[in-house]
Amino acid sequence: MHIFLLILFGFLAGIVGGMGMGGGTVLVPLLSFLDISQKTIQSINLISFLPMCCVALIFHAKNKLIVKTHIWLLIVPALIFAVVGALVADVASNKVLRYCFAVFLTVVGAWQLVVAIKFAVLRKKKNKQEQHIDEER
């Protein structure tokens, strides 16, 4: 199989993931250029994420960035439904999975774009206000 492209696409998605922006959402569409079924792509995405995640967690724990309050309220339901989701994916067709992923990516992308622009505008306003205050002084 296209070993070079697999490593290259993994590398590109890894850069995004390493910056903490969800590398998996980049890896799935990239791998769809190769002749691999959607289910295999999704399993590649899950498995390749595991070593990265372990390393990142060690760093974050050292930097004291992990907040454990209420964490079980998130982990327990997420774990149960992750199993359910994976079982449903097994019976779903590759085409349905691919379309669902496409819808998910487009919605998340559009939403992130709105948030990023809003944030940028807010910061610009804040900077201007601070400038005014400085000028008045």
Partner 1 sequence: MNLTAKNKWILIIFSAVAGFINGFLGGGGGVVIVTLMLAVLKLHQKYSQATALLVILPLTFVSALVYLVKGNVDWIPTLWATLGVVAGGIVGALLLSKLNGTVAKILFALVLIAGGIKLFF
Site for partner 1 in 90-119 (CB under 8 A): 90, 92, 97-110, 112-113, 115-117, 119
Residues with Cβ within 8 Å of residue 24, at least 6 apart in sequence: 13, 17, 45, 49
Q: How far is the CB of 4 from partner 1 (least distance, A)?
A: 9
Tell me, residue by residue from 12 to 31, as one string, x for binding to partner 1 by CB under 8 A and - for no binding. Answer: xxxxxxxxxxxxxxxxxxxx
To partner 1, the closest distance from the beta carbon of 99 in angstroms equals 7
Name which of residues 71 to 90 contact partner 1 (CB under 8 A).
Answer: 71, 73-75, 77-90
3-class secondary structure per residue, the chain? CCHHHHHHHHHHHHHHHHCCCCCHHHHHHHHCCCCCCHHHHHHHHHHHHHHHHHHHHHHHHHCCCCCCCCHHHHHHHHHHHHHHHHHHHHHCCHHHHHHHHHHHHHHHHHHHHHHHHHHHHHHHHHHHHHHHHHHHC
Site for partner 1 in 51-70 (CB under 8 A): 51-57, 59-60, 63, 65-70
128 binds partner 1 (CB under 8 A): no
| Position 133 contacts partner 1 (CB under 8 A) | no
| Nearest distance from C-beta of residue 132 to partner 1, angstroms | 22
In whole angstroms, the minimum distance from the beta carbon of 125 to partner 1 comes to 14
Nearer to partner 1, 79 or 133 (CB): 79
